[in-house]
């Protein structure tokens, strides 16, 4: 039976309330209407938990705690102010910070010897630093790729899967050895070091198109490492929060993998997106139909139902605000305009939605792929802006294609398809898109922001 | 501490099931703010670092702990801030009830 000192009991009650608030916080995220309450619940829970922890009887000095809290806030605020286009890399960075915290605490606990007489303690401590270490470096790599400090194309080398497997084996093996021989302290830095290297090598071969899955996975790992920390410190609040975060990340990864029709192992080990040298080269340029902004504007104005398909390219071109203007002007003319959102459009789950929301497009106009796919045959115009692979019909018909089986938006079934693109270069899957050569497809060559701006001008200039 | 371990495992299991159930119902519209929110909540790991730094058991532990506090607090503050910003952007074209 554990004896609680008076303040310890108070802390436990506070943690109990905070846990409930965290669960409510996530529950309220189920729809935009209740989501703001969710944040409030989470904030209150967090403040309570931190304040409660400060009551801990073992604390003798508050000075450095205060320093840490202030410095952390100073870094957090600017990070919270980034543009929506930078949210994926900011998210990856925050996973890195979270994993860093967990790894550092685990390391400190080890060298303080708090777990040396418990096999279970040492086991979870090892799990904590392995997960924490690989998530730390893996997330840094992901952030680097998203911010384009690192090349987005997968970097691969022969035998890399074997190397990764061996590294992971070394980390786990060392952990097992350490648990059985707690006096072999040198094994600990080995575990941490190998995990850090493993994180780098795990993410380096993954291409930009797979980022949504990888970020979700890292989110899950960060959560699991926090839960492991909870086991080490016997802190129920940490276990609960870690479990919530872990399941969230894992669910999102599964959703992302399904949306690309690829299994996890394929994402992690099957470098997707190297430009298929054989497929791309040696094909003579097939003719495409192209159109000007005036022609595009006329077609749009005459339509009844328009579906806009946004992709990462729209975000890169920062065209979302021009797209809002297009939405406004078409809606005023009585055209029904909706947006088809593919689950892996963008660089993280739900990325397109926040980009369009940032541009003030009402969220009830943003329709998920499964809901809207059946509507394309009745759609007059499908306007594709900066999206490529998610509209590629080869995924349905061409069994040899790397994207075969991936659920796509059936834009080719619309009466007219217009695609805004800078040129004919392949998308992230590195393959050609047969959509562009169809008879009912018009290519609109140009920068997304400028082209959409031109269409808007045409529509408002006295038609 | 045998019974304590089993208690913790029960809690972990229940929390995982709750997590799955709750997250399943989050609208795909909100997956991005969901991720930044769960990350902010995850930074509750700061409480472990706070105790570590407060106990002042060794310089090494204190230094690591302070860095850990900085990293986690950045997630808490930044995470809630950005999630709130994102949620403010979601507007419906239908008039609110």
Which domain covers residue A111, as residue numbers?
Answer: 95-274
What secondary structure does DSSP assign to A169-232, as a single string? HHHHHHHHHHHH-TT-TTHHHHHHHHHHHHHHHHHTT--GGGHHHHHHHHHHHHHHHHHHHHHH
Q: In total, how many domains does chain A have?
A: 3
Residues A244 and A298 placed together within one structural domain of the fold: no
Q: Is pLDDT at B95 greater than 70 in this prediction?
A: no
Q: In total, how many domains does chain B have?
A: 1
According to the model, what pLDDT value does residue A337 have? 95
According to the model, what pLDDT value does residue A389 have? 86
Question: Chain centroid to CA B5: how far?
Answer: 23
Residues A236 and A101 placed together within one structural domain of the fold: yes
Tell me, yes or no, whether B16 lies in a domain. Answer: no
The answer to whether A216 touches A92, Cβ cutoff 8 Å, is no
According to the model, what pLDDT value does residue A56 have? 85
Residues A370 and A396 placed together within one structural domain of the fold: yes
Which domain covers residue B74, as residue numbers?
Answer: 27-89
A228, A250, A274 - which closes a domain: A274
Residues of A carrying an active site annotation: 389
The answer to whether A436 touches A289, Cβ cutoff 8 Å, is no
Supply the pTM of this predicted model. Answer: 0.88
**How big is the A-B interface in CB pairs under 8 Å?**
362
According to the model, what pLDDT value does residue A248 have? 93
CATH number of the domain at A320, please.
Answer: 3.40.50.1220
* Gap from B77 CA to chain A (nearest CA, Å): 5
Q: Tell which residue, A257, A216, A221, has the closest CA to residue A242.
A: A221
* Gap from B18 CA to chain A (nearest CA, Å): 7
Tell me, yes or no, whether A166 lies in a domain. Answer: yes
Q: Cβ separation of B61 and A111 shorter than 8 Å?
A: yes
Residues A319 and A232 placed together within one structural domain of the fold: no
Tell me, yes or no, whether A89 lies in a domain. Answer: no
According to the model, what pLDDT value does residue A5 have? 64
Tell me, yes or no, whether B17 lies in a domain. Answer: no
Indicate the DSSP class of residue A290: B
Please give chain A's pLDDT, 463 residues, in tens: 344 567 788 999 999 999 999 999 999 999 888 998 999 999 999 999 999 999 887 888 888 999 999 999 999 999 999 988 899 999 999 999 999 999 999 999 998 888 777 888 888 999 999 999 999 999 999 999 888 888 777 777 777 778 888 888 888 888 888 888 878 888 889 999 999 999 998 888 887 778 888 999 999 999 999 999 999 999 999 999 999 999 999 999 988 888 887 777 777 666 554 433 334 443 456 788 888 999 999 999 999 999 999 998 898 889 999 999 999 999 999 999 999 999 888 888 999 999 999 999 999 999 999 999 999 999 999 999 999 888 999 888 888 887 888 899 999 999 999 999 888 877 767 788 889 999 999 999 999 999 999 999 999 885 4
CB count, 10 Å around CB of B42?
36
H or E, element range at B95: none
- Residue A458 has which token pair? 């045409």
Q: Which of residues 83-102 of A touch B (CB under 8 A)?
A: 84, 87, 90-91, 94-95, 97-98, 100-102
According to the model, what pLDDT value does residue A271 have? 55
| B20 in reach of chain A (CB within 8 A) | yes
Q: Which of residues 373-412 of A touch B (CB under 8 A)?
A: none
Q: B48 or A151: whose pLDDT is higher?
A: B48
3-state secondary structure of A66: helix
| B25 in reach of chain A (CB within 8 A) | yes
């Amino acid at each position: 039976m554990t004896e609680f000192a008076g303040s310890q009991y108070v802390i436990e009650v506070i943690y109990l309330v905070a846990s409930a608030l965290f669960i409510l916080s996530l529950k309220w995220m189920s729809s935009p209407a209740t989501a703001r309450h969710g944040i409030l619940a989470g904030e209150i829970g967090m403040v309570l938990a931190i304040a409660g922890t400060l009551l801990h009887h073992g604390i003798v000095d508050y000075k450095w705690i205060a320093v840490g809290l202030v410095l952390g806030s100073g870094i957090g605020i600017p990070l919270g102010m980034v543009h929506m286009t930078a949210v994926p890399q900011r998210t990856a960075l925050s996973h890195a910070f979270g994993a860093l915290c967990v790894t550092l605490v685990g390391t400190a606990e080890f060298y303080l010897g708090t777990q040396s007489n418990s096999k279970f303690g040492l086991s979870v401590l090892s799990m904590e630093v392995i997960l924490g270490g690989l998530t730390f470096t893996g997330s840094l790599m992901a952030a680097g790729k998203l911010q384009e400090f690192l090349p987005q194309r997968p970097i691969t080398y022969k035998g890399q899967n074997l190397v990764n497997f061996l590294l992971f084996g070394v980390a786990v093996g060392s952990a097992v050895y350490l648990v059985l021989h707690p006096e072999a302290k040198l094994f600990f830095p080995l575990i941490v070091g190998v995990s850090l290297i493993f994180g780098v090598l795990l993410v380096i071969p993954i291409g930009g198109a797979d980022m949504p899955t990888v970020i979700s996975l890292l989110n899950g790992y960060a959560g699991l490492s926090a839960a492991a920390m909870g086991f080490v410190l016997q802190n129920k609040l940490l276990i609960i929060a870690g479990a919530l975060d872990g399941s969230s990340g894992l669910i999102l990864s599964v959703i992302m993998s399904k949306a690309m029709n690829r299994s996890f192992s394929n994402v992690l080990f099957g470098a997707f997106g190297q430009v298929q040298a054989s497929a791309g080269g040696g094909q003579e340029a097939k003719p495409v139909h192209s159109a000007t902004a005036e022609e595009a504007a006329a077609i749009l104005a005459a339509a009844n139902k328009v579906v806009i398909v946004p992709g990462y390219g729209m975000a890169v071109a920062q065209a979302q605000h021009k797209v809002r203007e297009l939405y406004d002007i078409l809606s005023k003319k009585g055209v029904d305009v909706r947006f088809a959102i593919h689950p892996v459009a963008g660089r993280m789950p739900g990325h397109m939605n926040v980009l369009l929301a940032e541009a003030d497009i009402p969220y009830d106009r943003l329709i998920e792929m499964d809901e809207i796919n059946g509507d394309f045959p009745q759609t007059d115009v499908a306007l594709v802006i900066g999206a490529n692979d998610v509209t590629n019909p080869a995924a349905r018909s061409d069994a040899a294609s790397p994207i075969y089986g991936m659920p796509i938006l059936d834009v080719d079934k619309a009466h007219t398809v217009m695609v805004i693109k800078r040129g004919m270069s392949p998308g992230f899957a590195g393959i050609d898109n047969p959509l562009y050569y169809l008879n009912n497809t018009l290519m609109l060559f140009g920068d997304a922001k400028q082209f959409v701006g031109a269409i808007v001008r045409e529509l408002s200039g006295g038609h | 501490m045998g019974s304590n371990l089993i208690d913790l495992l029960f809690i972990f299991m229940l929390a995982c099931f709750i997590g799955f159930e709750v997250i399943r119902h989050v609208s795909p519209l909100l997956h991005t703010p969901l991720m930044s929110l769960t990350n902010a909540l995850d930074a509750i790991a700061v409480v472990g670092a706070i105790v570590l730094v407060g106990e002042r058991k060794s310089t090494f532990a204190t230094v690591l702990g302070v860095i850990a506090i900085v990293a986690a607090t950045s997630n808490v503050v930044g995470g809630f801030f950005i999630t709130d910003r994102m949620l403010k952007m979601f507007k419906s074209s239908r008039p609110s009830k």
